[in-house]
């Protein structure tokens, strides 16, 4: 498989290392010096850049008939536009707020726990996430996914509220938002914690990444899975086939 890498920072290099170990070839590396370059000669593209660059990179890949795996977060307000673009070109795109296999298992565990908590009103939830200082969006896409899944399962919450900022998707007259705390420190790859606390006890589930390799491995798995498919997919589709 020939891969075009959009974004060649620490994450891009980790993806190249994993891809090469799995017998694939990186044929294009796009960074600030050749931004906007088409994925010529690639079978698939993997995109890990910035929120303000992601949709342009998606557009150029889809226009050139190259399926694209997108790991950048913070652009999801344009997901409808991207879906229309993929449908128009009969292309293929796979997006996820987190490509780690462990995190996607964590998502499933979070959804199951949230369903159980729907009938336990004496438990209150909060989400804490910690990332490296280079991560630009807060809260992380992973934390937003966790909050969204809790929101869908538990009627006594609506939206999420980043500590120190205005609540998102929450009605002031309706249920409270899910509190989210985001911390940026050192070179932490990523830690996410969901806590359900009652007056009597506390249930905590945590995913802690040790390095970028888990994210990179998941992204390469996603690219392998996407090849030959059309439409818009998520990491949950990949996980169901692993």
Active site residues: 131, 135
Quick one: CA torsion of 228, 230, 233, 238, rounded to 10 degrees?
-20
Residues, the chain: 242
Burial of 203 (C-beta count, 10 Å sphere; 0-12/13-18/19+): middle
CA–CA distance, 237 with 10 (Å, rounded to integer): 26
Q: Which two tokens stand for residue 173?
A: 């007259």
- Alpha-carbon Rg for the chain, nearest whole angstrom, is 18
Q: How far are the Cα atoms of 82, 174, 209 from residue 60, in angstroms, in the given order?
A: 12, 42, 32
Q: Residue 192 forms beta bridges with which residues?
A: 129, 207
- Cα 107 to its chain centre, rounded Å, is 11
CA–CA distance, 111 with 118 (Å, rounded to integer): 11
């Amino acid at each position: 498989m020939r891969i075009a890498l959009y974004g060649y920072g620490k994450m891009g290099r980790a993806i190249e290392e994993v891809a090469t170990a799995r017998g694939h070839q990186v044929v294009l590396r796009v960074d600030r010096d050749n931004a906007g370059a088409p994925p010529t000669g690639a079978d698939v593209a993997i995109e890990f850049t910035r929120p303000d660059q992601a949709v342009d990179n998606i557009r150029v890949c889809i226009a050139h008939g190259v399926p694209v795996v997108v790991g950048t977060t913070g652009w999801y307000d344009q997901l409808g536009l991207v879906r229309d673009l993929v449908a128009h070109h009969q292309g293929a795109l796979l997006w996820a707020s987190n490509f780690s296999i462990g995190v996607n298992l964590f998502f499933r565990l979070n959804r199951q726990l949230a369903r159980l908590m729907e009938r336990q009103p004496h438990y209150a939830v909060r989400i804490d996430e910690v990332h490296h200082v280079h991560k630009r969006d807060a809260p992380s896409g992973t934390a937003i996914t966790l909050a969204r899944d809790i929101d869908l399962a538990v009627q006594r919450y609506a939206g999420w509220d980043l500590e120190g900022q205005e609540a998102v998707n929450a009605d002031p007259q309706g249920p409270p938002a899910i509190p989210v705390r985001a911390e940026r420190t050192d070179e932490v790859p990523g830690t996410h914690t969901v806590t359900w606390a009652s007056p009597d006890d506390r249930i905590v589930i945590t995913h802690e990444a040790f390095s970028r390799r888990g994210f990179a491995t998941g992204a390469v798995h996603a690219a392998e899975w996407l090849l030959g498919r059309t439409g818009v997919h998520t990491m949950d589709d990949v996980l169901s086939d692993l």
